[in-house]
Chains A and B, each alone.
Chain A
Amino acid sequence: MESTVDFSHYLKSAGTGLLHLDLAVEGINCAGCMAKIERNLSKIPDVTSARVNLTDRRLALEWKAGTVDPALFVDRLAELGYKAYPFEPASAETREAKRAGALLLRLGVAAFAAMNVMMLSVPVWSGNVSDMLPEQRDFFHWLSALIVLPAAAYSAQPFFSSAYAALRARGVNMDVPISVGIILALATSLFETAVHAEHAYFDAAIMLIAFLLAGRYLDQNMRRRTRAFAGNLAALKAETATKFISDDEIRTVPVAAIVPGDIVLLRPGERSAVDGSVVSGRSEIDQSLITGETLPATAVAGSAVYAGTLVRSGALRVRVSAASEGTLLSEISRLLENAVQSRSRYLRLAERASRLYAPLVHATALLTMIGWLIVGATLHDSIVTAIAVLIITCPCALGLAIPAVQTVASGALFGSGVLLNSGDAIERMAEVDRVIFDKTGTLTLPELDVANAASIPADVFNLAGRVALSSRHPVAAAVARAAGATAPLPGIEEEAGQGAFGVVDGVEIRLGRPPWCGADEAANQILQNDPEASVVAFRQGETRHVFAVRQRIRPDAATVISALHRMGLTVEMLSGDREPAVRAAALTLGIHQWRAEVTPVDKIARIDELARHGHKVLMVGDGLNDAPALAAAHASMSPVTATHMSQAVADAVFLGEQLAPVEAAVAVSRKARRLMRQNLWLSVIYNLLAVPVAIAGLVTPLIAATAMSGSSLLVMLNALRARRNGEPV
């Protein structure tokens, strides 16, 4: 019945006779896991290499071709307690990784050049006040030029090309004053060296490049990491399709391997991953994801099926017309693309400032030059002073101020199980004063669980679980999961709308609706005590048992909500669920403001109303009906299990069974915003102090180098403080 995933799509050749496979592994979170996985998989004969990447939570395997079935690795990992899925890096991720690598390379070149130039600069600085011969100084300056000019030409290219692009588009960005500053500093230094002058700014110029590149690299690396993580999420969701490889033979393949013209099988309970038309079969389908129509439609041969369609009653054979663009991965990719576009507000602020900044800086430099000329300085001295102003105002610290905090904060959030979708999420989350929770799937765990497991004999539970494996009904799936069943029973058939049945040891067994199993009485009793539960009955011969299946509240929900209260946030619950259920949950969790039976429109209305009163709302929800509310709120979060679309609109996604990430998100964001502000002020103060000194003509290369590295270090160290209260709970 269960067909395993076809791995051939993911296998790569790794040299002669070797195969390579990348797996995204769920549950790697410590060094112990890493050692355990590597040790156990290396023990498999013919495996030549098993290496875990703890940063990206992936496993790279290499083995001799033809000897080992890749499914063995997944099974072995499952035995160790890790879920693993084959995975193929999306092209976007590879691109980001390449960009980060290139920046690191340039950063390395600039940093090494800066270090070596310093070695030459320090003797010059000290020699200028003691007994260095002018010839020796010139010699050192020429050597500096020899190191710096090629290094700068290579490593400053990102700034040059970005400035050039901006100028061509008749605009100005931060890279324009940077490029002008670098080029002028280098040109002057070269000229000064040629005329045997005392000062050259080679060291300051290359150091500037190195610090700016550090800021860019941090920014890029954060993006790369988010991408890698999104790739894992998509792999873990294991979007597969069942494809016919001949008329009656099927195989489970990744959606990525499906091409138009393929025939796929959609079984009851499955969501289609492709667009196509029905070839044969008949089923009720739920198109609510696509059309919003909640009433099921009937699909017959010729009907169109879209990605996202839920097949309810019968199996369908579908001819694929378009391989899906709506897969989770493409959705997340699109999202991140947006996130990159909608840069953080503070970054935008910096960009807006740069539009002011460039003319301001250039005007100041020009005025300085004119001023000195009027006072009677020589043209040469005036120009040198003006260039010192340009160098000292280059926004080193400003360029690092925001990316450094964002990197540290998102790293801390990542550690707490929060993945940011959008660039400015940190700032917006820091501003919220009110949190609205959805109930189902957010405060409660998204997966159903058997509530009365204790009252059912273990052997019955096991048997029921194995029967349940053959059904795709969500309630049956919950029974199978709760029983920990892994081996489906042979010969189990499904009766549409009733349940699954079969024969074991000559006795008929049934798992399904209580009336069908003759267990109405017991079921009604359970429903009376617990009206929210779903019931499923199990009948073996004459013995009958009823399982109460319901959603559990997240284990730490009450603690988190009281912590949110303590942080000064008002917590509210809006749920589409019935009133008794919502009241019970609110009581358990200590939420005083709640409303039940709220429609999506009402949720938006409530958020708008709060916004009109000046409140900033953080909406935490999942489920399709929350998507508009998530989009309408000031900031939003979704559990990672949420329907694709609500994840797509949420600013952040959180992982795991706990609600604690919500608290961490707000706490870390608040701290990060404070640090960003501090950093911006630090940069402003630096400029206020340094610019007058430069205008006065007192900036020597030594002062320029110290001021620049000093302010950059200060900003970096300050950013590191974002880490302090964001450690995993």
Chain B
Amino acid sequence: MQIKIHGSAAGGGFPQWNCACRNCREIGAGKLNSSPRTQCQVAVSSSHEEWFLRNASPALRMQIVGAAELDSRGHLRDLKAVSKRGVRHTPIVGVVLTGGDLDQVLGLLYLRELEPIHIDATASIRRLPREQNKFFNMLTEQPWQSVCTDFVPEKGSRS
């Protein structure tokens, strides 16, 4: 199992655009021994050829093109590979949603380029973005574009 963290910040990123706290000031001034972070994004794989995203952050496009294992160009390095797989290809095969917050679903809109993708979620989480925002209809522009599978979670002690 391979796990890669592509982003680890909260919803505003780090530094946050409207924040002047000590950390945000010092990272901007190069005084903090850290690095800027995009919103939380994790990918997992069992094969290195296929990756599942845990949620879809608002910074997803930047995170994909910054990671060779997620970027098509990392998998289509030469014409032979392009000939085999076609110009359009992604190693991202699915997204598992653990919630419906904006920081967890906005990145789905970056996956709308008529690229087939699995979206796994509970029925409630799957419904929320589409019913609240018609932009998400772009994920089902073609009937084959998105395959949504609803799962039923195990009960936790507080649920």
A complexed with B: no
Q: Could you list which residues of chain A lie within 8 angstroms of chain B, going by C-beta atoms?
A: none
Q: Could you list which residues of chain B lie within 8 angstroms of chain A, going by C-beta atoms?
A: none
